[in-house]
Structure 1
Amino acid sequence: MGHLDEVGEADGWRCWLCDEPVDRDMATNDPRSATVDSRLTKARAKKLKQDKSALPPDRLAHKSCNTGKGTSDPVVKWPDHLIVVDPASIIAATDRLERKGGRETMARCPTKADAEETAAWLIDRISRLSPNLSLTHQITSSGGQYLVVLKA
């Protein structure tokens, strides 16, 4: 089994950036083909190596998602169907929760139902971004809105 197959199996053949299925048999020049990606930019990986910190594992990505990310820090988009205000950066919040634990305020929502839907989506999505991170959520009322907080 090659490295791509190992990474694909570990990620359930889903792109870690867009969370859509990846077809392992697609032609390599197709934008939806499978590639191996790192969660880190080269500069950040170099700094972690210098600090002797552990590097996160390689991840599966569509060729177009991987190429589109380029040398920039990756971004996981919030879906359009969620009603959120001031959404946090999912990758940055996940990194902090992995490193330090604790809690992260992820977004504000206008209704409790919106906040519950957002929390459920976040926990599901982050479980695929960081499978070893165990999360719970808390919804708190604040000034007529609801805060979505994740706890590691």
Structure 2
Amino acid sequence: MGRLDDIGEQDGWRCWLCDEPVDADRSVNDDRGPSVDSRMTDRKAKSKGKKKGAAELTERLAHRSCNTGKGNVDAVVPWAEHLFVVDPSPIIPSVERLANKGGREVMARCPTRSDAQEAADWLIDRISRLEPSLDVRSDIDEGGGQFLVALRA
């Protein structure tokens, strides 16, 4: 159980997929129990000079049900339900592009500045746990009666 404990400590005992707490004392056979997810990242494979498609495995903590539900496909990190966003961008591909190339990614549109600020704050917090080594900041741009939320690396 040492490897699971190490990965749990690394991720602050939070599921990297749903961002909810993981109870270390639950059975690994329980749906809400801890499991290790091997997240593939082409970005990390490229940085180490591997051929495209030869992705590196990054181990992350997940609930057993989240990990099983994801299966062997690219993970989807959901936006928080309480946020008022329109046309939200998929979080993981956007974060991987920012980490790989830097620059700016428009993440969503919001009807008010306060909604945009809440979404931007949530994104920064979520990404700090999803990709801890990535330094991002948010931009909120007004235009056309809406507010664009963007991330910049």
* TM > 0.5: yes
Query: Aligned Cα RMSD in Å?
Result: 2.2
In 1, the alpha carbon distance for the partners of 2:84 and 2:121 equals 13
In 2, the alpha carbon distance for the partners of 1:111 and 1:17 equals 28
Q: Which residue of 2 aligns with 1:26?
A: 26
Which letter maps to 1:4? L
Which letter maps to 1:151? R
In 2, the alpha carbon distance for the partners of 1:97 and 1:38 equals 21
Which letter maps to 1:88? S
In 2, the alpha carbon distance for the partners of 1:69 and 1:53 equals 20
Q: Which residue of 1 aligns with 2:117?
A: 116
TM-score, with structure 2 as normaliser: 0.89
Native 8 Å contact 2:137 2:151 kept in 1: yes
Q: Which residue of 1 aligns with 2:136?
A: 135
- Report the alpha carbon displacement of residue 52 of structure 1 after superposing the two structures with TM: 9.0
* Post-superposition CA distance 1:93-121 (Å, at most 9, x none): 01111111111100000000000000000
Give runs of ≥4 in structure 1 deviating > 3 Å: 47-54
Which letter maps to 2:110? C
Number of residue pairs aligned between Structure 1 and Structure 2: 149
Note closer, same or farther for the CA distance 1:136–1:56 as it changes in structure 2 (3 Å cut). farther
Identify the structure with the greater strand proportion.
Answer: 2
Q: Which residue of 1 aligns with 2:80?
A: 79
Residue 66 (str. 1) matches residue 102 (str. 2): no
Q: Which residue of 2 aligns with 1:103?
A: 104
Unaligned runs of 5+ in 2: none
TM-score, with structure 1 as normaliser: 0.90
Unaligned runs of 5+ in 1: none
Native 8 Å contact 2:77 2:91 kept in 1: yes
Q: Secondary structure at the match of 2:140?
A: strand
- Report the alpha carbon displacement of residue 2 of structure 1 after superposing the two structures with TM: 1.9
Residue 88 (str. 1) matches residue 94 (str. 2): no
Q: Which residue of 2 aligns with 1:2?
A: 2
- Report the alpha carbon displacement of residue 82 of structure 1 after superposing the two structures with TM: 0.6
